[in-house]
Amino acid sequence: MNIELLSKRTEALHKDLADLYQTASVLAWISPELQPQAFQEILSSAKMAHLAMEELRQQNEELIQTQNLLQAECEHYQDLFELAPDGYLVTNADGIIQKANAAAAKLLNVSKQFLVGKAMINFISLEDHQHFRSELNQLLQSDTAKELVMRLQQRHDEFLNAALRVTVVRNQQGKITHLYWLLRNVTEQQQTESITIQNESDIIQNRQLYKYSKGENICLRPRVIWYVHQGVVKLSTFCETGEEVLIGLAKAGMVFGSSMTGLNIYQATALCDVELVSFSEAEIAASPTLNHSLLLKINRRLQQTECLLFNSGRLHVQERLHHLLQLLKQEIGETVPQGTRLSVRFTHEDIASACCTTRVTITRFLGILEQLGKINFDSQNHIILKD
């Protein structure tokens, strides 16, 4: 029953009560003493019903106003989704597409109606299917967004290189409800980066190489950016208790320097024999090519540091260790017959500082992982992660 109909019936009730009062006043068999009290109670109840009706009417108007605002807000976000310059898809946990915007349809060269109900893997090139499934399974076990670079298959068997950033959405019970996909065509970007890297190699070849042996501290000069030509450099600081804290790993193709941090204590140590090239901030600012090249390297360092920062906030040490090993596998892993070997040997103290725990705890957990067959060590004590 809607509010208007209820209001009309309330008004009709008032009229009926008035007619009843008139009729009762002329009936001789109703005691005159009872009439005022009875009708007073009836009229009082009628007034209360009328007030309640007015309150309901006001609440209904507020609800309609709120509904209109929500509708406008939904339309606003729908427009943002639909008109976004990048492709957006919404899928269920199995990767079945539920929503798609115009940019996604244009990127895949199909209509939006055709996309809905299709499996996401249908638009992945056949040679990337196994890799896509593996990455998606890993993603479903975590709560962090992840970016995948895949070859997407367009209509008429045309292909493009795309970056797929995937975010997992869970309900209050922790069950996956949706996956959000951001799609970007990176074919031109990769071509530009390839040209940039080639120019960068030319620049490096004409510069002096600075060599540091394993375990040496690298001199951090003001307004100088170091570029790692070969090897891996550990970047760390020290907390108030004197314990070392890992804040980054600069591998070949990455940059570091004292001007890139706001920390008062900042230390760079060669984890193996390294070769470095230096650039002054002045020459970087004067060269657009160099500026662009090093900006890409800084971005990689930033992403890595954010991963380390997020990992340090995990509740359990086992989780911190697991995700650190996965990050190291991604950053400095090399394929060997037994699995993935970390190209640099880390001490238990190094791993403990990155996991915000003690060396004894890391030694115990690494022992457990080795007993479970998830890791082992080579003759030089490099960790090998089993695939």
Q: At CA 23, angle to CA 19 and CA 25, rounded to 5?
A: 120
Residue 235 · residue 256 · CB < 8 Å: yes
How many CB atoms within 10 Å of residue 364?
Answer: 12
Average pLDDT value for residue range 171-193: 77
Tokens in use for 177?
């409800």
State the pLDDT at residue 1.
46
**Cα torsion angle, 297, 301, 302, 307, sign:** positive
Tokens in use for 372?
């479970």
- Measured CA to CA, the distance from residue 347 to residue 350 in angstroms comes to 5
| Among the listed residues 123, 289, 93, 111, the one whose alpha carbon sits nearest the alpha carbon of residue 101 | 111
Contacts with 383 (C-beta within 8 Å, 6 or more apart), sequence order: 325, 328, 341, 342, 346, 366, 375, 377
State the pLDDT at residue 386.
85
Burial of 328 (0-12, 13-18, 19+ CB in 10 A): buried
Place of tokens 């639909």: 82
- Measured CA to CA, the distance from residue 200 to residue 198 in angstroms comes to 5
For the segment 258-287, what is each residue's pLDDT rounded down to a tens digit?
888 888 888 999 999 999 988 888 777 777
Q: Is the pLDDT of residue 191 over 60?
A: no
Mean pLDDT of all residues belonging to the chain: 79
Average pLDDT value for residue range 14-37: 57
Q: How confident is the model at residue 364 (pLDDT cuts 50, 70, 90)?
A: very high
